[in-house]
Structure 1
Amino acid sequence: MKIAWYGRNLIAWTIAGAAVLSTGVQILDLPNLLKLLVPVICIVVVGFIVFFFRDPERYPILPPGESHVVIAPADGKILSVAEVYEPEYFGKSVWQVSVFMSPLNVHVNRVPISGTVEYLRYVPGKYLVAFDEKSSERNERMLIGIKNETLQVLMRQIAGFIARRIVCTLNVGQSVKAGERCGMIKFGSRVDILFPKSHTPVIHLRDSVKAGETIIAIPEKHLSHFS
């Protein structure tokens, strides 16, 4: 199982701490039950941390060159599909699809379209629960604008009540391909993907999606060809 490099330091520290704690309880004069339970709990914690930072390979459904579709940027369930006014990047009404990531989902985020990164902005903020609609505007977040010859999208990595660390590996001017890794949000939260009304969402509320694989939206003129 491949592990995301974003979590390797935390995994190393967790393993070291678990080893010290498990060894310590064996040395000290403690009840036998405690000597048994502590190592078991440590193994469970280490196992969860390793599981959380898993990073499976993903492959976009469409072949290279398909620049007109929007791919899911995160694993999880569709929390909302709505028309919203986005003042900062688009300056107009657009579609917004929100993906909620539980602590059990893969948390590596992926680029939703091929193109060039033209906008990045980190916004400090609060840590409301991820399913609160106000979290898109009030929580700590990273804004990522990507554009190609036919489409532009805005991706929001949003920290939540548990997730308080956003990782973004992109730079302005960088060329990216749909489905490639671009960061993660540690320990659950949400990702919003915003795109023009020229495209139509092809997912529904509570659908499960996979980053880098599930198609989120296609041009309205191509709807008749989508199945």
Structure 2
Amino acid sequence: MSEPTTNQRQPALPGLDVEATTVVGIGLGLTGLALGLRPRLAPATLALTALAAALFRNPRRIPPDEPRTIFAVADGHVQGVREVYEHRFVHSDCLRLTTIIGPLDVPICRAPLAGRVAYLEQLTGDHRPLRDPQAAERNQRLYIGLETTWGPMLIAIVAAPLGRWLRCETSLGATLNPGTRIASVRFGGQVDLYVQRDVLDPLVAPGNRILAGRSRLGAVVA
């Protein structure tokens, strides 16, 4: 199975985003300058360059060929699996699977399964910490509604207050494969995946470490 593709430019540095080319180039240039003028500063500038590059990681992810599997949207830790009513797109009782993305986690969000983008909305907001119960409805956030073979599902991506770097990387009407890149949220965030309650058999629990496009969140109930 080939890796899901997007219309974005290919990165010059394997495993890193396109934006990392400039960041790494500047960092290495400063490191070289420090070696010539102040050698003691070179390790510090090199470490900062490595840290900056880590924020722009773009590892290759190829989901297994499992049509009935719903894969993780983002890298991070599962915070909870709750039953809620979703009123924005699904309009049904749902399971909400919440993933917390750490500041140094890979910032790329991916489609959990095949589907078509039928709803898209991005909103500005407050700078509330993610532990605030109102952060999911008040911070900068992106909603992506998917029509799938198994029914509608909604992805809500919430920016953390530190960076507020949340970018949509898909479009209304786009057809997605599992693992297709759909957004990026740097410096931490939260992802809520809403799936109809009678569609999903969860395979994760709070505290589990997951990887976008690799980890199995649940199995579709026939």
SS in structure 2 opposite 1:183? strand
The count of aligned residue pairs is: 208
Does structure 2 conserve the Cα–Cα contact (< 8 Å) formed by 1:162 and 1:189? no
Alignment of 1:149 with 2:162, yes or no, is no
Deviation at 1:38, TM superposition (A): 3.0
Distance 1:20 1:59 in 2: 36
Q: Any idea what the Cα deviations from partners look like across 1:181-206, whole Å, max 9, x if unmatched? A: 12210111121111100123220000
Q: Which among 57, 60, 76 is matched to residue 63 of structure 2?
A: 60
Deviation at 1:24, TM superposition (A): 7.3
Which residue of structure 2 aligns with residue 76 of structure 1?
76
Distance 1:55 1:17 in 2: 19
Deviation at 1:217, TM superposition (A): 2.0
Residues 103 and 21 from structure 1, CA distance in 2 versus in 1: closer, same or farther, beyond 3 angstroms? same
Which residue of structure 2 aligns with residue 41 of structure 1?
44
Deviation at 1:126, TM superposition (A): 1.3
Alignment of 1:102 with 2:102, yes or no, is yes
Residues 13 and 58 from structure 1, CA distance in 2 versus in 1: closer, same or farther, beyond 3 angstroms? closer
Distance 1:194 1:83 in 2: 9
SS in structure 2 opposite 1:132? coil
Distance 1:179 1:117 in 2: 14
SS in structure 2 opposite 1:39? helix
SS in structure 1 opposite 2:117? strand
Cα-Cα RMSD: 2.2
Letter in 2 for 1:216: L
Deviation at 1:44, TM superposition (A): 0.8
Moved more, 202-211 or 94-103: 94-103
Letter in 2 for 1:61: P
Does structure 2 conserve the Cα–Cα contact (< 8 Å) formed by 1:113 and 1:146? no
Does structure 1 conserve the Cα–Cα contact (< 8 Å) formed by 2:204 and 2:218? yes
Give the structure-1-normalised TM-score.
0.82
Moved more, 11-20 or 115-124: 11-20
Letter in 1 for 2:15: K
Greater per-residue helix proportion = 1
Distance 1:18 1:132 in 2: 39
Distance 1:123 1:174 in 2: 20
Distance 2:27 2:50 in 1: 13
Moved more, 107-116 or 125-134: 125-134
Which residue of structure 2 aligns with residue 12 of structure 1?
22
Between Structure 1 and Structure 2, whose CA radius of gyration is higher? 1
Which residue of structure 1 aligns with residue 113 of structure 2?
113
5+ residue gaps, structure 2 = 1-13
Deviation at 1:87, TM superposition (A): 1.6
Distance 1:42 1:15 in 2: 12
Which residue of structure 2 aligns with residue 30 of structure 1?
none
Give the structure-2-normalised TM-score.
0.84
Distance 2:35 2:62 in 1: 46
Residues 133 and 70 from structure 1, CA distance in 2 versus in 1: closer, same or farther, beyond 3 angstroms? farther
Residues 71 and 202 from structure 1, CA distance in 2 versus in 1: closer, same or farther, beyond 3 angstroms? same
